[in-house]
Amino acid sequence: MYRTNRRRTTPGAAKILFGVLALTVAFSASASAGSKKEQPAKKTASGGGKVVVASTSWVAAIARAGGAQNVRVLAPVDLRHPPEYELRPSDLTAAGEADLIVYAGWEMFAEKLAETAGGANVRMLKLATTNTPEALKAEARKVAEALGTVSAFEAWAASFDPFAEDLRRRVQDAYADRRAVVQRMQTPFIQWLGFEIIGEYGPAEPSPAVILELVQTKPPLVVDNYHGPSGFPIAEAAGAPYAELLNFPGKDGTETLEDLFRYNADLLINAVSP
Q: Provide the 10 A C-beta neighbour count for residue 265.
A: 21
Closest-CA residue to 249 (of 236, 241, 258): 258
- In angstroms, the CA 22 to CA 46 distance is 43
In angstroms, the CA 218 to CA 7 distance is: 114
- pLDDT at residue number 82: 97
Considering 157, 185, 212, which residue would you say is the last residue of a domain? Answer: 157
In a domain, 262, yes or no: yes
The whole-number pLDDT of residue 273 equals 87
pLDDT value of position 159 = 98
108: containing domain: 47-157
**Domain membership flag for residue 12:** no
Q: How many helices (H) and strands (E) does the chain have?
A: 10, 9
CATH code, domain with 77: 3.40.50.1980
70 close to 51: Cβ distance less than 8 angstroms: yes
Last residue of one domain, picked from the residues 123, 157, 191: 157
d(CA 256, CA 234): 31
Residue 49's pLDDT is 82
- Using a 10 angstrom Cβ sphere, with 0-12 exposed, 13-18 middle and 19 or more buried, the burial of residue 167 is buried
Residue 57 lies in a domain: yes
Stretches in the chain below the pLDDT threshold 70: 1-46, 48
Q: Are residues 63 and 113 in the same domain?
A: yes
**Strand, coil or helix: what is 243?**
strand
Residue 83 lies in a domain: yes
Whether residue 96 is found in the same domain as residue 188: no
Q: Specify the long-range contacts of residues 207-214, CB closer than 8 Å, at least 24 apart.
A: 211/237, 212/237, 214/181, 214/238
Residue 87 lies in a domain: yes
Burial of 117 (0-12, 13-18, 19+ CB in 10 A): buried
Flag whether 35 is in a domain.
Answer: no
Query: What is the bridge-based pairing of β-strands 123-126 and 196-201?
Result: unpaired
**Distance between CA atoms of residues 252 and 227, nearest Å:** 14
Cis peptide before 203 (omega within 30 of 0): yes
Distance CA 65, CA 257 (A): 8
Same domain, 187 and 223: yes
- Do 220 and 142 reside in the same domain of the chain? no
Q: Is 251 left (phi over 0), alpha (psi -120 to 50) or beta?
A: beta
Q: What pTM did the predictor assign?
A: 0.83
Closest CA to 266 of 250, 246, 248, 237: 246
Q: What is the DSSP pairing of strand 100-103 with strand 123-126?
A: parallel
At residue 46, the pLDDT reads: 56
Tally of CA atoms within 13 A in the half-sphere of 200 that contains its CB: 12
For residues 151 and 53, membership in a common domain is answered with yes
Number of domains in the chain: 2
Domain end position, chosen among 157, 185, 219: 157
Q: What is the pLDDT of residue 79?
A: 95
Q: Determine, yes or no, domain membership for 261.
A: yes
CA pair distance 68, 82, nearest whole angstrom = 21
Q: How far apart are CA 87 and CA 22, in angstroms?
A: 54
User: What is residue 184's DSSP assignment?
Assistant: G
User: What is the pLDDT at residue 3?
Assistant: 36
Q: What is the DSSP letter of 127?
A: -
CA quadruple 264, 267, 272, 274: dihedral sign: positive
